[in-house]
């Protein structure tokens, strides 16, 4: 690989020496459809920063991005796209003739291939990969790697949103996600704040509050999906990431004061995990489904400065460990209640921290 050209293209990105050395020595097969879930531990690097580096490499033209979709019936690889906006709700597998729905976290795998200008990849490699897939199908085995970088992991990257924010699905398409964690936040009595302090002052306060909240979201591996007035919707790969972000924001806003207010803000937060679909809403990546509605309703039950969360969040082992340590250190309690949520059948068991 032409390392001098790589260095030129990536001059504004901090690249660890381990990666540069590996790229310099890598052969054709290693530079073809790179699986970062396998490469990261091999180089002793953390996955998330490595993904960010390769996304910058795609933006600079050093690598191409491959969104591969695997058949959920036979495990074959019908094809892949180079852009997220080319993915379809469903595909037909030419191997087993089954029609399957694409799920970003279970059957869509993302890999990276070096650009030919830096290192030409022989055409035989694509044929070899196809032959191996057919042989795997004949053995009735899946071609999907046991460990792979999922489409959801890339989509839930702040770097991907920053570099490829306009790469969205067609409005006619949607993609399944089996599980994602959603955080909704809102400022208590914001309407009264606007009325009392005026639009300009209130806007500065809301803007500053966004900076604090966004920092906690991104620090914990999340991404801001959208803002609605002074409310925020964010997504996380794991419930524990969402909880840590909520706890970080909870403590941050207890310490921050605004001179105009003569004090701080009270933030109401709601957390829930569940299945959703990814859609294009107003030319932006968005989530739709019952889990989204439930997360928003849970946030709506929060009072004063409070985090409310569902049983699905509490059931996560890492969340339990985090909450046990957090409540013990701060001598806090977790409160439980059953309540009715608008549009949701039956009573829902919720938990809260204040």
CA distances, 206 to each of 7, 125, 269, 286, 308 (Å): 40, 53, 15, 22, 21
- Max Cα-Cα span within the chain: 71
Rounded Cα gap, residues 354 and 332, in angstroms:
8
225 and 287 share one domain: yes
DSSP result, 26-90: --TTTTSSB-HHHHHHHHT--HHHHHHHHHHHHHHTSEEEEEEE--TTT----EEESSGGG--SE
Number of separate domains in the chain: 2
251 and 319 share one domain: yes
Evaluate whether residue 42 is within a structural domain. Answer: yes
State percent of the chain over pLDDT 90. Answer: 80
Evaluate whether residue 208 is within a structural domain. Answer: yes
Rounded Cα gap, residues 33 and 127, in angstroms:
13
Q: Which residue in 233, 339, 324 sits closest to 284, CA to CA?
A: 233
Rounded average pLDDT over 266-286: 96
81 and 143 share one domain: yes
**Reported confidence tier of residue 176, pLDDT bands at 50, 70, 90:** very high
Residues 45, 16 contacting (CB under 8 angstroms) = yes
The answer on pLDDT for 129 being more than 90 is no
Out of 155, 182, 213, pick the residue that ends a domain: 155
219 and 317 share one domain: yes
Q: Find the distance separating the first CA and the last CA of the chain, reported in whole Å.
A: 55
Give me the domain span that covers residue 46: 3-155
Dihedral pair phi/psi, residue 6, rounded to 5°: -60, -45
Evaluate whether residue 162 is within a structural domain. Answer: no
179 and 115 share one domain: no
Out of 104, 123, 155, pick the residue that ends a domain: 155
199-241 pLDDT, tens digit per residue, is: 999 999 999 999 999 999 999 999 999 999 999 999 999 999 9
Out of 155, 187, 205, pick the residue that ends a domain: 155
DSSP result, 184-246: EEEETTHHHHHHHH-HHHHHHHHHHHHHHHHHHHHHTT-EEEEEETTEEEEEESSHHHHHHHH
310 and 191 share one domain: yes
Measured over the CA atoms of residue 258, residue 261, residue 262 and residue 264, the dihedral's sign is negative
Higher pLDDT, 101 or 142: 101
**Reported confidence tier of residue 344, pLDDT bands at 50, 70, 90:** confident
81 and 183 share one domain: no
Residue 94: helix, strand or coil by DSSP? Answer: coil
- What pLDDT does residue 126 have? 82
Rounded average pLDDT over 44-59: 98
- The predicted model scores a pTM of 0.93
206 and 148 share one domain: no
Evaluate whether residue 253 is within a structural domain. Answer: yes
Residue 275: helix, strand or coil by DSSP? Answer: strand
73 and 186 share one domain: no
Evaluate whether residue 35 is within a structural domain. Answer: yes
Evaluate whether residue 167 is within a structural domain. Answer: no
Evaluate whether residue 45 is within a structural domain. Answer: yes
**Reported confidence tier of residue 174, pLDDT bands at 50, 70, 90:** very high
What's the chain's average pLDDT?
A: 94
141 and 192 share one domain: no
Token code pair at residue 85: 């906006």
Rounded Cα gap, residues 3 and 309, in angstroms:
49
**Reported confidence tier of residue 261, pLDDT bands at 50, 70, 90:** confident
Rounded Cα gap, residues 135 and 153, in angstroms:
29
State percent of the chain over pLDDT 70. Answer: 100
133 and 265 share one domain: no
Rounded average pLDDT over 249-262: 88
148 and 199 share one domain: no
Evaluate whether residue 165 is within a structural domain. Answer: no
The answer on pLDDT for 131 being more than 90 is no
Q: What is the CATH number of the domain that holds 332?
A: 3.30.70.1230
């Amino acid at each position: 690989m032409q390392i001098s050209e790589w260095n030129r293209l990536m001059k504004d990105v901090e690249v660890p020496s381990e990666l540069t050395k590996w790229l310099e020595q890598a052969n054709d097969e290693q530079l073809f459809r790179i699986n970062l879930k396998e490469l990261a531990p091999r180089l002793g690097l953390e996955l998330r920063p490595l993904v960010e580096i390769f996304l910058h490499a795609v933006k600079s033209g050093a690598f191409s991005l491959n969104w591969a979709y695997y058949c959920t019936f036979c495990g074959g690889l019908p094809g892949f796209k180079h852009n997220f906006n080319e993915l379809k709700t469903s595909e037909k597998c030419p191997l087993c003739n089954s029609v399957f729905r694409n799920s970003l976290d279970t059957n869509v795998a993302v890999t990276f291939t070096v650009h030919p200008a830096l290192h030409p990849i022989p055409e035989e490699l694509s044929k070899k990969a196809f032959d191996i897939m057919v042989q795997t199908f004949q053995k009735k085995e899946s071609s999907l790697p046991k460990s792979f970088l999922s489409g959801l992991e890339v989509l839930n990257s702040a770097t991907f949103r920053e570099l490829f924010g306009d790469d969205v699905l067609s409005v006619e398409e949607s993609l399944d996600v089996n599980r994602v964690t959603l955080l909704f936040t809102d400022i208590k009595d914001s309407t009264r704040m606007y009325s009392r302090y005026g639009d300009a002052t209130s806007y500065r306060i809301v803007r500053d509050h966004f900076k604090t909240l966004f920092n906690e979201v991104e620090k914990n591996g999340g991404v801001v999906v959208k803002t609605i007035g002074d409310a925020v919707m964010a997504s996380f790969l794991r419930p524990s990431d969402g909880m840590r972000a909520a706890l970080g924001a909870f403590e941050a806003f207890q310490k921050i004061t605004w001179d105009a207010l003569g004090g701080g803000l009270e933030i109401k937060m709601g957390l829930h995990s569940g299945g959703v679909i990814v859609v294009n809403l107003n030319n932006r990546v968005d989530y739709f489904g019952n889990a989204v509605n439930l997360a928003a309703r849970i946030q709506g039950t929060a009072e004063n400065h409070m985090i409310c969360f569902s049983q699905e969040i509490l059931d996560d082992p890492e969340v339990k460990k985090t909450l046990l340590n957090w409540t013990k250190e701060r001598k806090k309690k977790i409160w439980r209640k059953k309540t009715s949520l608008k549009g949701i059948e039956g009573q829902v068991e919720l938990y809260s921290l204040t």
